[in-house]
Amino acid sequence: MDIKALIAQMTLEEKAGLCSGADFWHTKAVERLGIPATMVSDGPHGLRKQDDKVDHLGVNDSIKAVCFPAACATAASFDRALLTRMGEAIGDSCQHEKLSVVLGPAVNIKRSPLCGRNFEYFSEDPYLAGEMAAAFIHGVQSRSVGTSIKHFVANSQEHRRMSSSAEVDERTLREIYFPAFETAVKREQPWTVMCSYNRLNGVYASEHPWLLTEVLRNEWGFEGYVMSDWGAVADRVAGLAAGLDLEMPSSNGFNDRKIVEAVKNGTLDEALVDQAVERILNIVFRYTENAKPDTPWDKGAQHLLAADIAAECMVLLKNEGGVLPLSKEEKIAFIGEFAEKPRFQGGGSSHINCFKTTSALQAAEGLKVRYARGYSAQEDATSDELIAEAVEAAKAAKVAVVFAGLPDVYESEGYDRSHMRMPDCQNRLIEAVAAANPNTVVVLHNGSPVEMPWIDRVKGVLEAYLGGQAVGAATVRVLFGDANPCGRLAETFPKKLSDNPSYLTYGGEGNTAVYNEGVFVGYRYYDRREAEVLFPFGYGLSYTDFVFSDLRLSAAEITDRDTLRATVKVKNTGSRAGKTVVQLYVGDVESSVFRPVRELKGFEKVELQPGEEKEVSFTLSKRAFAYWNTQIHDWHVESGEFRVEVGYSSRDIAASAAVRVESTVRIPRHYDLNSIFLDILDDPRGREIIAPLLKTMREGFGSSEDEKSDAASEAITEEMNLAMLNYMPLRTMLSFAGEKADPAALEQILNKLNES
């Protein structure tokens, strides 16, 4: 298809019309030129395809589909191949349903546990989020269906999401909020990128030229089209000029006419309209020319796949005394309404109309399981009668399993949580059951961290997250040992909300949300502060044991242009087959800027039989050691020693090795009379140039050591003199050098220091 030739035949009105949707879910057609309409659909963990009645937040029913685990769960798998399999399944579903683009994945950073949409996002860590997103995109697009990675960018709160401005500094954007998008774009080229509702530093994301053109296209090489989130367009003409190609949904012609008017009055270059149309049509025809509507959609097989995926994502948080796995020969109590009616997805635009669900109670049919309701999720209520029934069931069982978590109303697109607590009725139930049976296990269904005031009174905690429609089957497999838990937390669980680094400013004041914590998001903050947490990033237990050993680096010294290979041995020292996640972190030992203690720069999931050992390797390049330098507006490695660590979590490091990285980039420095000696001496070249001046300064401080009294020598040491000298500006040499003061000589030194 010669798209440029096609565009040349279009009227301005037709071109402007193609830059917005035909309705809620379709792009426009131009029948006279053979341009078809295509359909897009939510969502990241299953299809929410709507036919007649349409809406954005999932109020009206969509077609029957398969709900896979949400991103809060799949990120905990730390398994790229698993995300690709899930993407392939969703891609097949899209082909069957004639959908050109699935609206996902969502990769916004979990800045606070309060974000109402955290269940739809992967992680607090940008490296992990980027790896998961790229794997998912690869799977979907391998089926010739597009993805729309979202929401670009800094959409980490739902509160005032359509009006607030995320105030984020350059370094924080580059190190925390950009990388997941950057990784996905550079590695997998998603067909589309969806911009966020919010402003970024005062400018709406939908009309932000630096964001949509300079960074996304010019720096990262994005080739697809940029689409708006539904209703995110403030100024359509400014948006088109900035790089927003497709407005969704339809504006009913209102904004199309604004585009035509702007071209005619000369305030918008028609070439920009042509460019947007070309980008849109490239994707339209990429899909239509590879459409396979006869692709089968085996929902039953995908239900089984959803169960397999959910089992891989569950995180065993506590297993005191080996209370898990459960014995199929013992009497077990399942307590809590979520055992019968599991909460397995979040509310809003990603809500799937499931063709089938499997609860834990259904999956445990045939086992010695007794059920007690315990509470009402709809009313957030319990009663003395429900508690008494639960206690009775617990007392009669070997192990009592309480299914708890957050009801639907607590977590949804469109608003944030106001606290981190579970419903009081559930906490009360857990306390009562734990008092009745010392072998109490809690299974959690939630999309974000919760406080656990009962943690010391239960023996086991299994984090199931929002595990999709087959979560009950997966939970029973894990509880009874048919599957060995192998998930790891993709986010830190703080003990209480006020421990979170964004606590004081989250949500913002009015329409301004300042990201004061900077790069210290999640474990980057907790680890740097050495703060006690409930469960750290990367944490998770297994029914077997693993040992990491013999960490080796390919070199002791490298430059920032080299790559470093790290290898480590992993051994299953337990009695069961299982999987573990080898997590590799990098930390700068001494830095001139504030940096985290360690940052995740690699991970691999490894499956091992009892006694089996494997070697895992990682390749680290410049980005693993670099920070974003705002002086040069680029990634920069400071010369010095770095720690390369492998661990079971960010708080449980098994092995560490050192490497010296030498920077090949000299950062230009400018000095003046107010520059202090400390900064000049930090520069090896500056230290050499300033040496004669230092000698003059020392002599100017007073008499020689021989002439000083003993009392003076004891009171002011040479070390103290040097320490004080560090903070003196260059200009002070004119005061302290006495008769040897020479303004001309000082000027010469300054000129030499500032030579490139």
Cβ partners under 8 Å of residue 475, min gap 6: 310, 314, 342, 360, 363, 443, 462, 464, 467
Kind of pairing, strands 634-636 and 627-629?
A: antiparallel
- Specify whether the CB–CB gap between 677 and 730 falls below 8 A: yes
78-88: burial string, b at 16+ Cβ within 10 Å, e else: bbbebbbbbbb
First to last CA, the chain: 53
Distance CA 625, CA 639 (A): 10
Kind of pairing, strands 640-649 and 578-588?
A: antiparallel
Residue closest to 537 by CA, chosen among 633, 699, 621, 649 = 649
Q: Side by side, which strands form the sheet with 652-662?
A: 557-559, 652-662, 640-649, 578-588, 599-608
Residue closest to 393 by CA, chosen among 371, 425, 363 = 371
Full 3-state SS string of 501-525? CCCCCCCCECCEEECCCCCCCCHHH
Cβ partners under 8 Å of residue 420, min gap 6: 113, 114, 449, 450, 451, 494, 496, 497
Residues with active-site annotation:
229
Diameter of the chain by CA atoms? 101
Q: Which residues pair with 193 in a beta bridge?
A: 149, 226
- Specify whether the CB–CB gap between 344 and 67 falls below 8 A: yes
Q: Which residues pair with 225 in a beta bridge?
A: 192
- DSSP state at residue 112: -
- Specify whether the CB–CB gap between 405 and 425 falls below 8 A: no
Cβ partners under 8 Å of residue 100, min gap 6: 27, 38, 39, 40, 94, 145, 146, 283, 284, 287, 288
Residue closest to 659 by CA, chosen among 507, 552, 513, 744 = 552
Tokens 């009801």 locate to 407
